[in-house]
Structure 1
Amino acid sequence: MAEVNLQEVHDTLVSIAFEAGRMILAANPSSISTDTKLNAVDIVTETDQAVERMVLERLRAAYPAFHFVGEESYQPEVTAITAAPTFIVDPIDGTTNFVHSFPNACISLGLAVDRVPAVGVVYNPFQDLLFTGIRGQGSYMQRNASLAAGQGQGEKVRLPIGGGTRPLENLSTALVSIEYGSQRDGENFELKLRTFRKLAAAKESGGAMVGGLRSLGSAALNLCACAAGQLDMYWEGGCYAWDVAAGWCILIEAGGQMVSGNPGDWNPALDSRVYLAVRGASGGQKEIIEEFWKVIGDGRMDYKH
């Protein structure tokens, strides 16, 4: 296969993201049909499914030789991410936010080549906020992104915001994002709860006394906030490649780092389902990652595909 034109893919994905955004905004969460997958908090809506169908149709027309992995068309033990150029799509990341009209939901569109994120587009239509990244070309944030130039469209700001990569100090000064996920029992959940408690607890009681904990309800937006420098770290277990592929590219292009959410693994696979992201910094990345891993201790999260 000829070398992939990443800029062309990026432009196509941005166009698709805006179309998806219009579909999401046109939906009425109070009247659309919803269903559940794993349990009552693992929600899928007819809008998720309609957006993914649109994305698939557009991408197959533009890139018929590329592979496609989408959340709503995923088949356990059948769907796989190979070395081939592969679009990895979450039509609505943050569906629980979406059905509550809480404005922290987005479409996440990624392209992986050789199982490595190469293009990322994350668009929150509720805030008209666009994050993009192309391997080797940096990542950007744009407000009022869907408006016409000269009519309110925001400037494309290179990430991290302000251009600075201030050094990371330690967990006591860090703003860290965490998510409970949809699996609410078992050892993975218990490990999360133990880690959350230790992160929050005072040092006098054996905790890390982290600067602050946040939960945005969207893996893609958590990663983009890290890329922007708004969050220092993001720890997650249980999400899938479509949750992180686009944001992963945007994070790396902003100088950030993605390692495993389980201690000791500096090079996690795209579909490993266990992740720890850290923002770009002029120093301290390795040290704060190792400090976070010590909070986890000997525990390990293990999620099936």
Structure 2
Amino acid sequence: MADINLQEVHDTLVSIAFEAGRMIMAANTSEITTGEKMNSADIVTETDQAVERLVSTRVQTKYPSYLFVGEETYVAGTTRITSAPTFIVDPIDGTTNFVHGFPHACISLGFAVDRSPSVGVVYNPFLDVLYTGIRGRGSYMQRNASLEQGQGQGPKQKLPLTGSPPLGNLSTTLVAVEWGSQRDGENFEVKARTFRKLTASQENGGSMVHSLRSLGSAALNICATAAGQVDLYWEGGCYAWDVAAGWCILSEAGGKMVSGSPPDREGEGWDPALDSRVYLAVRGASSGQDEIVREFWGVIGEGRMDYKH
């Protein structure tokens, strides 16, 4: 990685994020063409495709030797994340929110080296909030990010925003989750059972978490965890482009990404693959990270989510 200028990659991705954000905000969702992938909960729009073309053109022109993996050009069973330097991109993470006008959608621009998230840029143009991270250099959040200096642009705030207070047990936590687009089968049942056990009273065998939150975007859920606004984010079914950028931002904020399924053997599950599709993100904390991971795995119990590539 020594010969890769991560700062330059970061600066390039931030510039592209603002350009893509303007394209997203210019779209009229009442007029754009909308289609379905797997089902009615798995939506794609012509804006997703146009933004990915923009990003692909920009990064491949500047970095022709680096690979590119994007959601809208992914080919099931063929596309792979290798150890080569790779841009991993979701043009609009939160397309359902985008279509409905719910202001929690973003462009997620990740860069991985040796299958490890090394640069992350996540930009929500609706709220003009930018999250960034560079491996070894910390991560940051900025409000009014696209404004010029002196015109209301917010300061870059180092993540986590709340410091790193210790984690208690699950009953003290706010947990981000998503239903996902697969609404049947064992994966769906594992999610539904786990959601119930997380929220049920302790007298009824539950963990009685403070509550569950769903922003509708994996990248924004991870960034909220990095910021310390939620304590945990549990997900199954998303892809590398959903998590790559946020993963870098989370790690640089002292957070941890582990497997979203309990491991079969002791010592496993603490270092999931970038494209493992089942994740548990934990905020930065002075203590208690490993303990809460084990507690969460215990809530899932014997359930296992299994998603194909």
Tell me the TM-score range normalised by the shorter chain.
over 0.9
For the aligned residue pairs, the C-alpha RMSD in angstroms reads 0.8
Work out the CA distance in 1 between the residues paired with 2:88 and 2:30: 28
Matched to 1:34, the amino acid is T
Match of 2:287 in 1: 283
Q: Structure 2 matches for 1:222-261, cutoff 5 A?
A: 222-261=221-260
Identity of aligned residues (%): 75
Work out the CA distance in 1 between the residues paired with 2:39 and 2:3: 42
Judge which range, 153-162 or 230-239, deviates more: 153-162
**Tell me, which stretches of 5 or more residues in structure 2 are unaligned?**
264-268
Say yes or no: does 1:209 pair with 2:208: yes
Q: Structure 2 matches for 1:145-294, cutoff 5 A?
A: 145-162=145-162, 164-264=163-263, 265-294=269-298
Say yes or no: does 1:120 pair with 2:124: no
C-alpha displacement at 1:190, in angstroms? 0.4
Work out the CA distance in 2 between the residues paired with 1:3 and 1:260: 31
What is the TM-score normalised by the length of structure 2? 0.97
Say yes or no: does 1:34 pair with 2:34: yes
Q: Report Cα offsets for 1:268-291 as digits up to 9, x if no partner.
A: 000000000000000000111110
Work out the CA distance in 2 between the residues paired with 1:15 and 1:27: 19
Q: Report Cα offsets for 1:5-50 as digits up to 9, x if no partner.
A: 0000000000000000000000011111000000011000000000
**Tell me, which stretches of 5 or more residues in structure 1 are unaligned?**
none
C-alpha displacement at 1:172, in angstroms? 0.4
Matched to 1:227, the amino acid is A
Matched to 1:228, the amino acid is A
Q: Report Cα offsets for 1:49-71 as digits up to 9, x if no partner.
A: 00000000000110000000000
Match of 1:109 in 2: 109
C-alpha displacement at 1:212, in angstroms? 1.1
SS of residue in 2 equivalent to 1:161: coil
Q: Report Cα offsets for 1:61-108 as digits up to 9, x if no partner.
A: 100000000000000111111000000000000000000000000000
Judge which range, 127-136 or 75-84, deviates more: 75-84
SS of residue in 1 equivalent to 2:72: coil
Say yes or no: does 1:300 pair with 2:304: yes
Match of 1:68 in 2: 68
Matched to 2:101, the amino acid is S
SS of residue in 2 equivalent to 1:72: helix
What is the TM-score normalised by the length of structure 1? 0.99
Match of 2:84 in 1: 84
Work out the CA distance in 2 between the residues paired with 1:261 and 1:271: 12
SS of residue in 2 equivalent to 1:243: helix
List, as ranges, runs of 4+ consecutive aligned residues in structure 1 with deviation greater than 4 Å: none
C-alpha displacement at 1:2, in angstroms? 6.9
**Aligned residues, how many?**
304
SS of residue in 1 equivalent to 2:189: helix
Q: Report Cα offsets for 1:105-162 as digits up to 9, x if no partner.
A: 0000000000000000000000000000000000000000000011111100000014
